[in-house]
Structure formats: C-alpha cells, structure tokens
Amino acid sequence: MGRQSKNKIQETSPLNGDSLDAVVEGIKDTIGDVGAQDPTWFLHSGNLALDYIMSMKVDGSGGYPSGQICELFGDPSTGKTLLILKAGAAVQRAGGIFALADVERRYDKTFGAIHGVDNEKLVRFYPKTIETFTVESYEMLSDYGKQAKILIAVDSLAALSTEKEVDDAEKKDLKADQGRRAQKIKQAMRVLPGLVADTQSILMLSNHIIDNTGGYGGTNTPGGRGPKFHSTVRLEMLRTTPILIEGKMRPIGVTMRVRVAKNSVAPPFGECEMELTWSRGLDRLSGLIDIAVDLDIIKKSGAWMKYGDISFYAKDFANVLADHPEILLDDRWSKNYFTHGVGI
C-alpha cells in the first residue's frame, strides 16, 4: 500500500502555467472567491492624518475599511464618541445609513448636529443586552445591507449587559458576571463579521478600559479577546491635552492622540494628533503636517516649512493646501510611512 502511494506521487507531474490557472479557477468555482470580501470603499474619519495611519490614503478616499469591524478603545473623554459621530456624518453624506446603538442613552442631538450628523436620518436604537444588539444588527444587515452603505456603531460595548444579568436584576440578585458577558460578546463577534463582510458594511465598537478581574494584571477591554481578534482596525484613544489661550484658564478645546493598535489593511502602530476646538470642531488637517515632515514631503527649518519653492509657517498650512492641492497628490504619500527609511 505504501509502495503504491509512493509510485503515484512519483508519477505526478508538476503543473505548467496554463494547467495551474485552470486548477485555481476550478477551486474558485467550487468554494467561491473570497477576494470579493476585500474592502470596496473607505469611510472618511473626519481627519486626513487619521485616514492616513489607518489606510495610507491622504486624498479623502481613506479611513475605516468597509466590510470590517473597527474598535475604538480608551479612557473616558478621549474622543471615542466624537470619532463615531464624524464617521456617521461621513456615511450619511455618502448616501448611506448611520445606525447608532445608543446603549448609554446619552446621545445629544445638538452635539451630533455640530459634527455633521443629520438627526432626521439617524437610525437610533437602544439594545439592552448583547443578545438583542446581535439580533437587531444581524436583521438590519440582512434586510438592507445590500441596498445601501451601512455603518452600525455601538456606544458603548462595555455598557451592554446579558439577558441573564437582566433576569437576575429582576429577581434582585445582582452578581458580577464578566465571564458570561465576554462569552456573549465573543458569540456576537463570531456571528456578525461574515455578514458585515458580505454586505461591505462597517461595524464600529466603542469600548472602555477596565481593570482585570481581581485587580491583577493591569487593564483590559470588556468582551474578552473577541473584539481584539475580530477587529480589523483597533484605535487606542490616548490622553488628551487641553488647548489653552495664553492668560486664560478655561480650555478652548483639546489635542486628541490616536494610536493604531491593530491594522490588517495597512501597517499598524502609527500615531497622530488631532485638534478639536469647541468652536470649529475637529480640524480636518491637524496632524497631517507632522506626517508630511516625516515623509520628507515638507522640509522643516526652525519655524519655517518648505514644499519645493514654497515657504510658509505651520499655522498657514491649510491656506497653502488650498492654493496648492498638488501637495496631497505628491507621489511620496504612497510611500510606506511606517517603514520609511528602512529600505523596504
């Protein structure tokens, strides 16, 4: 028996180019071509620097990849909800649907409108449990995912309970049940990704930072490893810095810092800083000049910036871009920012 198998292996001839192509096409016809689930579009984040570190696109066509799950995690007041609203406004402008699972019950229509959300077209729902959120999201994507671009955002994943926790509360039997909650979130992460990919929708998860059970081992995010494994992009929201006017105590805004903790569509671990002011909202161009300097697109000399023969101050960057849009079309943007200078 072993000798016959060995002879068969020896008699097998290697495939030539045409034969190999035929075999590949046959396999695709048999089991399907998964390439159709690659991102077909990207959702603008509201800031070009953030778009770039997520997708290496700086012309407004980058951002969150379609067909994927994106997790935003960090401490309170680091900008998670703001980025969700900016993404929601962007998908609405593109003629799509923004569905917000307002788990924390604190969506502010005025705040949303300031950042571009059309409240009349906003689909706002209030799931109490992970199971309810999973079912409602699945039904939404199944029924309408092929008809329009859909962004489903949950704010926040950490606030979702389980059906058992709700039942226990009705019996006045409150217990910590982190293990069961993590299990249910993992189940949701196994059920939803395939449908998100098939419909080329986007699922955004806002998540908190919590201490590990027992207080040992540092911090973690609720939901166990499910969101970490199934998220294509994970954005870590870092500490914000107040923006102050000289001689004044009250901040006029904050500088937000974002780090790409995981990325499966572009190199990870990039960081950017974005300015958010209460009067103007999120600055679309803030942080971009720092990346341009790293890529040697713009040369820095003291307080002066220089692009070719054009010299300017950093504070005038927006005006320079308006007059010279070719800066954003420079071939050097297509370089791999994270391996720049390494020789790859």
Mean of the pLDDT values across residues 305-317? 92
Identify the CA nearest to 175 among candidates 164, 184, 186.
164
Most confident of 21-25, 135-139, 168-172: 135-139
pLDDT the model gives residue 344: 42
Identify the CA nearest to 182 among candidates 153, 148, 221.
221
DSSP class of residue 129 equals: B
What span, in angstroms and rounded, lies between the C-alpha atoms of 37 and 172? Answer: 46
Return the H-helix or E-strand segment holding 54.
Answer: helix 48-55
pLDDT class of 105 with cuts at 50, 70, 90: very high
pLDDT the model gives residue 239: 85
68-74 and 241-243: which strand pairing?
unpaired
pLDDT class of 12 with cuts at 50, 70, 90: low
pLDDT the model gives residue 343: 46
pLDDT the model gives residue 9: 46
pLDDT the model gives residue 306: 93
When comparing pLDDT for 41 and 38, which is higher?
A: 41
Checking if the pLDDT of 337 tops 90, the result is no
Q: Nearest 5 degrees, angle CA 272-CA 275-CA 277?
A: 160
pTM for the predicted model, two decimal places: 0.84
pLDDT in tens, 213-231: 555 555 667 666 778 889 9
pLDDT the model gives residue 175: 67
Checking if the pLDDT of 98 tops 60, the result is yes
Identify the CA nearest to 91 among candidates 153, 149, 155, 154.
149
Residue 130 neighbours by CB under 8 Å, 6+ apart = 160, 161, 162, 181, 184, 185, 187, 188
Most confident of 28-37, 112-121, 324-333: 112-121
Instruction: Indicate the range of 5-19, 111-125, 223-237, 297-311 predicted with least confidence.
Output: 5-19
DSSP class of residue 12 equals: P
Instruction: Indicate the range of 127-136, 196-205, 215-224 predicted with least confidence.
Output: 215-224
Residue 326 neighbours by CB under 8 Å, 6+ apart = none
pLDDT the model gives residue 20: 84
pLDDT the model gives residue 223: 66
| Exposed / middle / buried, residue 240 (Cβ in 10 Å: 0-12, 13-18, 19+) | buried
Domains observed in the chain:
34-278 (3.40.50.300), 287-344 (3.30.250)
Return the H-helix or E-strand segment holding 24.
Answer: helix 17-31
64-65 and 42-43: which strand pairing?
antiparallel
What would the DSSP string read from start to end of 180-232?
Answer: HHHHHHHHHHHHHHHHHHHTT-EEEEEE--EEPGGG-S-EE-TTTTHHHHH-S
When comparing pLDDT for 14 and 196, which is higher?
A: 196
pLDDT the model gives residue 116: 94
Q: How many C-alpha atoms does 32 have within 13 Å on its Cβ side? A: 5
Instruction: Indicate the range of 117-126, 206-215, 271-280, 284-293 predicted with least confidence.
Output: 206-215
* 199, 150 Cβ separation under 8 angstroms: yes
